[in-house]
Structure 1
Amino acid sequence: MLQGILAGLAAGALWGLVFVAPRMVGGYSSVDLTAGRFVAYGAVAAFVMLVTRGRPLPTASQALASFGMSLLGFTGYYLLLVLAIRDAGTEVPSLVIGTIPIWVMLLGKPAHLSWKALVPGLLLTAAGLALMISSPHAEGANVLRGVLLAVASLVCWTAFALLNSKWLKKHPEVNATDWANWLGIATGLGAIVLWAVAGSPARELVSREGRGLFALLCIGTGFGAAWLATILWNIASRRLSASLCGQLIVSETLFALAYSFAWDGRWPTPAQGAACVLFTLGILASIRAHR
């Protein structure tokens, strides 16, 4: 269990990077950022599969599952998240995404846990979100639209968390790294299609200012926040229950907020600090109720 918890926390620390990455480089569309990150993920997965010959290849049903999971947990989720960050800044989407542990627990609630026990955590989390959304530092062109996009990304990843945990437990013969590689290939192919349909032309990408930083961010988030984080999350999903594993996603939110404040070079405002405290207390209350 300890190894599963540590793996889940490490995955959250890596995932937190994707909240601040879109703000580190300008002039690139949401599709460009999404496609770049996941093409890099697919390239890393393909390379690992080539140098580790002899590993099993997915069956037709496993390949189909990997494509479905990749749409929920990677391409669709991250595109919606990047759009949300564009409209509402970093802090609000990171807190919305941070409620995933609660939704995972609600949907994967153990039979012995009463609904009444979940109320304190839900109320604390809702209060924290309200404070953050009303904060004067909530950035972006359209905060409300950003919140709605963040909610849509939340739905995608919540479904992925539940289905991925169930799939891994149902297929113990599949190695966590193999599954991460299969997901990477599926995600990379989907990202290529996404870029071909809605991305910027290749000539524009290579001629824009900041292209070097853009490439580094795509490679860094593709390797660390996608490939490596997926392996760590697969380990956590296999060793922990879906509801307990879901609680660990709070680390993603806390790291995302820390990275955002560090990038801005400022401390959170009193309202933001209070929101973070309420949010954390809400998650802890939910964990206590779960226990």
Structure 2
Amino acid sequence: MNPLRSTLLQGVAFAVLATLCWASNFISPYVLQGYSIQDFMLVRFMMAGLIGVCVLPFYRAQLRALRPRQWLTGMGLGVVGYLGYSSCIAGGVIYGGPLLIAAFIGAVPVLQALLGNATQRSLRWGQLAVPVTVLCLGLVAINLNLLNESASGPTQLGLGLAFSFGAVLLWLSFSAVNQAAMVHLHTQATAAWTCLMTIGAGLAAVALTPLAWGANLLRLPSLGVTTPDALHLYGWAALIALLSSVIGAGAWNVASRRLPMVLSGQLIALESLFASLLGLAFHGRLPSMAETLGLVLILIGTVYAVRVILAPTRLASEQPATP
């Protein structure tokens, strides 16, 4: 197999793993057990930060390869891409339902494909027309169904839209900065970079806890921190922290080294698909026809984008070697 094609396929596999793990973000509002979403998010990211602190000593050599400025950048990305993004995801699910925020995340590939190709210009614009159009149609199908059938009031739906837009903006910012930072990152420092992200998110959660407590947003102090429901909350927080902030982030950083930004942006659409399926499962219902059509179109657009990116390397591998 052509080495470049093999590298791209590895990148696709790691990106799929990352999006599957990140989809666990969307179930946070369904596992609160009477506690607030603020309780859950702060506990979750403190746990993620603790995991990062415990794991980082195993990568001391990698850490020494990073400059202090890179330490700060990695931790800052954790605040934006972990704590900020996941909080917007949770708000979108609470106020807009399980598919509204997932549909907006499905729009990220459209924006990131344009941004990635504008900065790297790895494809002709015409090559992106079909996958981007298919993804847009999938997004429209899901949103039309939501707007027609939503039982929530305009204020609640407006909050859902605001959190959804926030999630998209934070992800685009995180992805662009992280992709640029990875270019200057030592090739063996990916694991340490992921640990710094989790530590940054954990430190931000610790800093925000007194503010949330003072604003009466926390229920753990009043409902109890050692009750069976609290232990249930801790278990889910630890699981999602491990899946999303550790495994998912690590897999994405590995994928970022192997994929051009234009392709990694397309693969984010799979997070929308996985998140929609998880949300529907927790709601105990099947998708409507419009939702099914939208999800299928998002999947088709993603697969088509992968084929477009891999086509040049496949043709190159089939070319006879020249003396």
Q: TM-score, normalised by structure 1?
A: 0.89
Q: Is 1:61 aligned to residue 80 of structure 2?
A: no
Q: Is 1:227 aligned to residue 229 of structure 2?
A: no
Letter in 2 for 1:78: S
Q: Is 1:130 aligned to residue 143 of structure 2?
A: yes
Which of structures 1 and 2 has the bigger CA Rg?
A: 2
Q: CA deviation at 1:242?
A: 0.9
Equivalents in 1 of 2:36, 2:94: separation in Å? 10
Q: CA deviation at 1:198?
A: 1.4
1:105-120 superposed matches below 5 A:
105-109=113-117, 110-111=120-121, 112-114=123-125, 117-118=128-129, 120=133
Letter in 2 for 1:153: A
> For residues 44 and 271 of structure 1, do their structure 2 counterparts lie closer, same or farther at Cα, with a shift above 3 Å needed?
same
Alignment counterpart, residue 203 of structure 1, candidates 201, 221, 237: 221
> For residues 275 and 135 of structure 1, do their structure 2 counterparts lie closer, same or farther at Cα, with a shift above 3 Å needed?
farther
Equivalents in 1 of 2:282, 2:202: separation in Å? 29
1:252-263 superposed matches below 5 A:
252-263=271-282
1:122-271 superposed matches below 5 A:
123-136=136-149, 142-199=156-213, 200=218, 203-204=221-222, 206=225, 210-271=229-290
Equivalents in 2 of 1:138, 1:53: separation in Å? 52
Contact 2:103 2:139 in 1 (8 A): no
- List runs of 5+ in structure 1 lacking aligned partners: none
What does residue 37 of structure 1 align with? 44
Contact 1:121 1:286 in 2 (8 A): no
Equivalents in 2 of 1:132, 1:42: separation in Å? 39
Q: CA deviation at 1:61?
A: 0.4
Equivalents in 2 of 1:221, 1:184: separation in Å? 13
What does residue 274 of structure 1 align with? 293
Equivalents in 2 of 1:69, 1:138: separation in Å? 36
What does residue 4 of structure 2 align with? none
Bigger mean CA offset, 80-89 vs 122-131: 122-131
> For residues 67 and 50 of structure 1, do their structure 2 counterparts lie closer, same or farther at Cα, with a shift above 3 Å needed?
closer
Contact 1:91 1:132 in 2 (8 A): no
SS in 2 for 1:56: helix
Equivalents in 2 of 1:16, 1:181: separation in Å? 20
Equivalents in 2 of 1:286, 1:135: separation in Å? 30
Bigger mean CA offset, 139-148 vs 75-84: 139-148
Contact 1:85 1:146 in 2 (8 A): yes
What does residue 107 of structure 2 align with? 99
Deviation by residue 1:186-215 (Cα, 9 ceiling, x = unmatched): 111011112221142652351667212210
Equivalents in 2 of 1:100, 1:234: separation in Å? 18
> For residues 68 and 53 of structure 1, do their structure 2 counterparts lie closer, same or farther at Cα, with a shift above 3 Å needed?
closer
Q: CA deviation at 1:263?
A: 2.0
- List runs of 5+ in structure 2 lacking aligned partners: 1-7, 312-323
Bigger mean CA offset, 273-282 vs 74-83: 273-282
Percent of aligned pairs with the same amino acid: 25
Aligned residues between the structures: 291
Q: CA deviation at 1:278?
A: 3.4
Contact 2:99 2:142 in 1 (8 A): no
Bigger mean CA offset, 103-112 vs 54-63: 54-63
> For residues 289 and 52 of structure 1, do their structure 2 counterparts lie closer, same or farther at Cα, with a shift above 3 Å needed?
closer
Q: CA deviation at 1:28?
A: 2.6
Cα RMSD (Å): 2.6
Equivalents in 2 of 1:73, 1:161: separation in Å? 8
